[in-house]
Amino acid sequence: MAIAESDVGSIRRRRKIDWGSPIVYLVALIVICVTLVPVGYIIVSGFRTTKQLNENLAGWPDPWTFSTYGRVLFGEGTLFWNQAGISTIVALGTTAGVVVFGVMAAFVIARYEFRLRGLMYSLFTAGLLFPISVAILPLSIMLRALGLNGSFIGVIIPQIAFALPTTIIILVPFLRAIPRELEDAAMIDGTSRIGFFWRILLPLSAPGLVTVGVLAFVNSWNAYLLPLFVLGAGGAGQANYTLPLGVQQFATQYSSDTAGVLAFTSLAMIPALVFFSLAERRIVGGLTGAVKG
């Protein structure tokens, strides 16, 4: 029995998700709770003492204790600020390299016509299939041969290389979406390709640049495996650790101080959370623009 076209249209309309329904809000609330509750527990537990945690893991601070955070931040022999500074240097260096090299490579792929353009883009896309854990052993051997073990550059350069595939995938659609008429008009006015790139293309692609910059910064800040092999195996010591390595070292050294470990962990992740939250709208706008492009 044939189905009328109007019936097909009504069936399709029924199948559409009603984003304003209570079920959707309930699912979103569950996802938010599953995501935020562990983070909130770690932060709040830092205001408790180890004795309070041992007596009741799920309890509320009673009384609120600020000395645990103070000991982590300003205690004798603390390395938090030193490790935070190193994490900042590595993250900013990685972010700068990813944005600069990423936008230059994406500009060539998006705006130039040449024979191997598709192959080049495919190679960057294939880079998404190779996580850093696969290449960590040959990479550490190569860095040791180059004398970069134990140095910040030995962490920054590989992080830039492994972040470039995602950066290219996001930026190429952005740059392709910029009308050719703008480039033609700029050329008629006597603007060179470099001038067009610097004065017109970069400002128009700012949402994409912010997106890849924030992603590179957060991923670098949270990186553990590569700094462990480069800084940990380089004999640099705890003073040259990034914060993720510092958290692991602190947890090992003060394993009996549960409250201190939770305080150190929360302090280590708060900068990345704040930075990501402040740039959230830019990230959503950048990814939306990349999909549309």
pLDDT in tens, 217-243: 999 999 998 998 888 765 556 678 899
Give the H/E segment covering residue 146: helix 132-146
Q: List the end-to-end C-alpha distance of the chain, in Å, as a whole number.
A: 42
Tell me if 168 sits within 8 A of 102, measured CB to CB. Answer: yes
pLDDT in tens, 32-42: 888 888 888 88
Q: Which of 219, 222, 229 is nearest to 137 (CA)?
A: 229
Which pTM does this prediction carry? 0.82
pLDDT in tens, 143-174: 888 888 888 999 999 999 999 999 999 888 88
Q: Which of 164, 160, 152, 157 is nearest to 245 (CA)?
A: 152
Which domains does the chain possess?
A: 20-65 (no CATH), 79-292 (1.10.3720.10)
* C-alpha span between 246 and 264 (Å, rounded): 9
Alpha carbon separation from 49 to 71, 139, 247, 253 (Å, rounded) = 12, 42, 18, 17
* C-alpha span between 204 and 175 (Å, rounded): 9
Residue 196: how many CB atoms within 10 A of its CB? 21
Q: What's the pLDDT score for residue 219? A: 92
